[in-house]
Chain A
Amino acid sequence: MDTVFAPATGALSWMWLLIALPLAGATVLLLLGRRADRWGHLLGTATVGAAFVLGLVFFLQLSGLPDDARSATLDLFTFVESGSLNISAGLLFDPLSAVFVLLITGVGFLIHVYAIGYMSHDEGRRRFFAFFNLFVAAMLLLVLGDNYVMMFVGWEGVGVASYLLISFWFNRPSAATAGKKAFLANRVGDAGFLIAIFLMFASFGSTDFQTVFNGTAANNLASGTVLAIGLFLLLGACGKSGQFPLQTWLPDAMEGPTPVSALIHAATMVTAGVYLIARSHPIFSANETAQLVVVSIGALTLLIGCVIGCAKDDIKRVLAYSTVSQIGYMFLAVGLGGAAYALGIIHLLAHGFFKAGLFLGAGSVMHGMNDQVDIRRFGGLWKYMKSTWFTFLLGYLAIIGLPPLSGFFTKDPIILAAFNREGWQGWVFGGAALLGAGLTAFYMTRLFILTFHGPKRWTDDIEHPHESPAIMTIPLWILAVGSVAAGGLMSTSVVNWLTPVFGHTEHHEEKMSHWTATGLTMALVVLGVVIAFLLFRRGTALAEQPARTHIVRAARQNLYADRFNELVLELPGRLLTRALVWVDNRGVDGVVNGLAAAVGGGSARLRRSQTGFVRSYALSILSGAVVVVAALLVVTFG
């Protein structure tokens, strides 16, 4: 199938406004400074709201186009043109982008509204809205770019904006470390993405989607090249979406800052990796091995997320690991390919709703409980915060996949699709997805019961927990309605809507019927809920219990992911740095240390040490010269 994008017509030729509006908002807010303090949050919310309305208009126009021409590209200007390198700043609005635009602007708008209330006492509110607008603009650029370089520009923009958001609103001491970790993991991913872009450029001479996809489809590339491109893209996606082995930054980034920033990451930023893989589906479809790696990483990550989620006592941490796990499901889906691409996107949308609801609910609980985050210190809250309790209940039921809430319509098909993969892989990945569903039910039930039911285990300073103000609960209700209804409404319509992007579904021979899979899943989910209910209905001990098994110990340590990273990534780097610094200090560079002493000790000492050091500098130059000369001569005459 040749990929051809049609040029934009009518209202769609104004699609640059989608990015320009929030960008203008950010610019105005940053440039005006304090003068905008009084109305800045309103402007920031308005630009995103307007972008959402525009997105709807474009969406309607796009749906009016015939199936085979349902895409619109817009060339803005030539970004780089040098030799055979030609990169235009072009936008692409097709069904896939449309879905993401609506998600980003829609959820983004709601979070803006919520943040007006949540941040009302924060003196940095204007800056927060400026960075938030910047974030939305970058995210929109990411999903609207019509080539990989534009996408990368948005990608890095999202990274910078999120770094700013994480950094500015940290209220815990662990803050700086988490920010750094987020940045490092993202840089590793970004390097992968960049290398993939260069590989595309080397193989296709271009980085725009059309050329790359058609080039891959033409099948005249070595499969190793396609595999390399796919794997490096995957590395990029893993960095941004918190997938194995780069998953550790995501929970840290969500734990520290306010629920608002946490939510930004949960509902929007982490979806970038899923978007990248879905967008690059022709590349992954062309190479089985690349697909297999995506599926394996998805399955592995979803299990890791579940297992760690069971062992955590911090309400936001549990939700953070549940995000890691749910994105694992999405990776699993987009890795399976074929019909499952659309399933991954639907799950992403549904997850956007219920995870947003859960995070805001958690924020609301913390708001009422003096910023307590330890679920061992909650209990019995349902009486005091009815709205929060009920909306949280709906989100919880949606995430464990109870019919007919949204999780049921989006997660079950993924499990089924995993089982229907050919051969042993079907059993392995299907089994993993199934097990994940059971574990999800267990840890979410634990979270829910310990927070809202059972005996009160509050700290002494809390007498009357209070419900949050309306500006915070209204978004909760909207999101709760979404969690309930979205799955059923979307499951067929979105699949049809995305058909022009992913192609028509080919029907495989099904190994397992729809009903068997659903039955199995429900059985495991109910089992998980019941076990959790029996274990935690009477509350839990306030202090941490000694870990009796290795699994519990490992899970509490985030499955040793940090230690693994330290060992595999940090340690060699640190040793190398230390070695180099040592050489630098001893042989070449001692003067820095020497100077500190010498400035105090007077010039006499320095005069002597100085000649010594210049001598060793000269030695370095001389040996370099010897090697260069020797290399040239020996190689030619040796």
Chain B
Amino acid sequence: MTTMVSADTLDISFPEVDYLALAPLLIVFGAACVGILLEAFLPRTRRYSAQLVLSVVGLVAALVTIVMNVGEDRPAFAMSDGSRVDAIVIDGPGLFLMGAIVAMGVIAVLLIAERRVSAGGAFVAHAAVAADSKADAAQARHPGATEVFPLTMFAIGGMMLFCVAGDLLTMFIALEAFSLPLYLLCGLARRRRLLSQEAAMKYFLLGAFASAFFIYGVALLYGYAGSVQLVDINAAIAASGNSQVLLLSGLAMLAVGLLFKAAAVPFHVWTPDVYTGAPTPVTALMAACTKVAAIGGLLRVFNVAFGNSGNPGGPSLAWDWRPILIAIAIATMVIGAILAVTQTDIKRLLAYSSIANAGYLLVGVIALGQALGATLFYLVAYGFTVLAAFAVVTLVRDSQGEATHLSRWAGLAKRSPRFAVIFTLLMLAFAGIPLTSGFAAKFAVFSSALEAGQTSLVIVGVLSSVILAFPYLKVVVLLWLSQPVEDAPAVSMPGFMTGTAVTVGVVFTVLLGLAPQVLLNIVDGAGQFLAK
């Protein structure tokens, strides 16, 4: 993967490896591998605690090494002859994205590990057992698979790699590394097995379809630029005499693959079904961390390869792809917001809200370098809020498991006001009410997009966020004003882990709303992607 073959001499030299720069990735993937060993050789009863400790310790250690890397701005590999190997690039935004994924990953792991809310946890042992069969009924009585921990670690590691990959092939490997575990995790839900299996199958098929677009785009771009490195593609756009058809088709295909993961319209179709069917902790992981990874990848590709961010005044392809991306962003914001209005299932509602939020994030991508900091801020603000929201969803339960249909939530405030206050706060943050992180994030993204001259996008964004506020408020009204239904679901007391997830999410939502400056300083300090 790191060796390059130059055609005439076949002279291959060994690169210097910066192990500190690689340490976060090595730790997370290493922890995942050790997790598999534990799974294979530890007695069943001790696996759960060992896996949980290993995952959390691994993620925290990765976070420490990410912090140790702050200020670095270079590729992790250096050739002795000075030529560029950009397989993995450690730069400010990359480190920030990795840090965000790991920090949210810790919360997601806590949610995944929760076993006190429902007996045996949210997962079953085998994804592929036919739903409602005898074997399926049998496995419902046992605690779930502890394989979810290494799978989650692989997914988190892949997402981290996706954000720091400096060439398209590494990026593709990262894409698969985080997608495959997610496909499997989606199929492991303890309740409503059929929905869960269906979600996994759909996500897998459509994900594979999108990956094909991605790799085809990579091939076309290689044909155009003679390299898969983002910086080389950028250089080739200014200098290459090759056909523009290769470049533009390649760009389009690549974008389709990336936009699929980011859930932008019209590549969003999988999102509602998969978010609904997947076990809620996994949905939380996808909504928070996968969103960061997908948008992080989009940001790096469009800034470094197609936006000429290293030389903002120079020739750039932005004039060509911007209108298309603008159309997609507008469609994503508007359709996501409108379809959210009629949803009757809380997970589905959050799925459509996640689509609309992808649109707001795309506004940041379109505005390129100027909006980079604001987009990073948005990712963190949205991520923590959505983690807390899904954590709360796991707590509202009746005899059938989670009660996700909104009609079941009517009047819950009367029975558990504390829960209702928390969820109301989260909904207000989604709606972008000031003094919550949602407002600060939207304001930052929109104002920097405005600075970049994207006035029409900002106006559509503001208007669609007005529409989007409505479904959130509908939930609030439902919680507080409606009469509770007969045999209304109860809100379980959260265990330590879910409690932590909710608390952290709420604290971030409030803190980033009251004093966004702290995080804004960090994202400003992260600077730009390493382009040259």
Contacts and interface: CB of A to CB of B under 8 A. Distances in A.
B462 A160 contact: no
A588 B269 contact: yes
Interface in A47-87: 77-85
Contacts of A191: 462-463, 465-466
Given A79-B517, A588-B269, A180 B477 contact: yes
A577 B256 CA distance: 26
Contacts of A622: 209
Contacts of B273: 589, 591-592
5 contacts: A83-B448, A191-B462, A198-B446, A202-B455, A633-B248
A167 B515 CA distance: 29
Interface stretch (A151-159, A335-343, A403-411, A430-438): A151-159
A629 B198 contact: no
B458 A198 contact: yes
A606 B198 contact: yes
A624 to B, nearest CB: 4
A629 B252 CA distance: 5
Interface in A593-638: 595, 598-599, 602-603, 606, 610, 613-614, 617-618, 620-625, 628-629, 631-633, 635-637
The binding surface of chain B is classed by DSSP as helix
B447 A198 contact: yes
Contacts of B517: 77-81
Interface string B450-478: 11000100110011011101100100010
Contact of A624 (B132, B248, B256): B256
B462 A195 contact: yes
Interface in B176-202: 192, 194-195, 198, 201-202
Number of chain B interface residues as a range: 35 or more
B338 interface: yes
Interface in A411-445: none
Given A85-B451, A198-B447, A603-B130, 8 more contacts: A83-B451, A149-B443, A159-B433, A160-B433, A580-B338, A581-B342, A628-B255, A632-B320
A617 B206 contact: yes
Given A584-B339, A591-B273, A176 B444 contact: no
A334 B192 CA distance: 61
A81 B520 contact: yes
A593 B130 CA distance: 22
A90 to B, nearest CB: 14
A194 interface: yes
Interface of B: 130-132, 192, 194-195, 198, 201-202, 205-206, 209-210, 213, 244-245, 248-249, 251-253, 255-256, 260, 265-267, 269-270, 272-273, 320-321, 323-324, 327-328, 335, 338-339, 341-342, 348, 370, 373-374, 377, 421, 428, 433-435, 439-440, 443-444, 446-448, 450-451, 455, 458-459, 462-463, 465-467, 469-470, 473, 477, 480-482, 515-517, 520-521, 523-524
A190 B520 CA distance: 25
A153 B434 contact: yes
Contacts of A202: 450-451, 455
B209 A618 contact: yes
A82 B524 contact: yes
B494 to A, nearest CB: 18
B404 to A, nearest CB: 12
Nearest to B377: A82
A135 interface: no
A235 B256 CA distance: 39
Given A621-B206, A624-B266, A624-B267, A195 B249 contact: no
Nearest to A189: B466
Contacts of B213: 625
Contacts of B253: 625, 629
A156 B433 contact: yes
Interface of A: 30, 77-85, 149, 152-153, 156-157, 159-160, 163, 167-168, 170, 175-176, 179-180, 183-184, 187-188, 190-191, 194-195, 198, 201-202, 573, 576-577, 580-581, 584, 588-589, 591-592, 595, 598-599, 602-603, 606, 610, 613-614, 617-618, 620-625, 628-629, 631-633, 635-637
Nearest to A80: B516
B256 A621 contact: yes
Contact of A190 (B328, B466, B515): B466
A598 B205 CA distance: 21
A603 B133 CA distance: 10
A84 B451 CA distance: 9
Nearest to A30: B421
Contacts of A149: 443
A618 B205 contact: yes
A202 B323 CA distance: 21
B463 A176 contact: no
B355 to A, nearest CB: 12
A188 B462 CA distance: 10
A233 to B, nearest CB: 14
B269 A617 contact: yes
Nearest to B260: A621
Q: Enumerate the 6 nearest inter-chain pairs by beta-carbon distance, A residue then B residue, closest first.
A: A624-B266, A153-B434, A629-B252, A632-B248, A617-B269, A191-B466
B466 A632 contact: no
A629 B266 CA distance: 14
A167 B480 contact: yes
Given A201-B450, A621-B206, A636-B248, A631 B481 contact: no
A632 B252 contact: yes
Given A152-B434, A628-B324, A576 B251 contact: no
B252 to A, nearest CB: 4
B209 A621 contact: yes
A80 B447 CA distance: 11
B523 to A, nearest CB: 8
Contacts of A636: 244, 248, 320
Nearest to A594: B198
Contacts of A584: 339
Given A79-B517, A610-B198, A621-B209, A631 B324 contact: yes
B132 A603 contact: yes
Contacts of A176: 477, 481-482
Given A83-B451, A85-B444, A599 B209 contact: no
A2 to B, nearest CB: 26
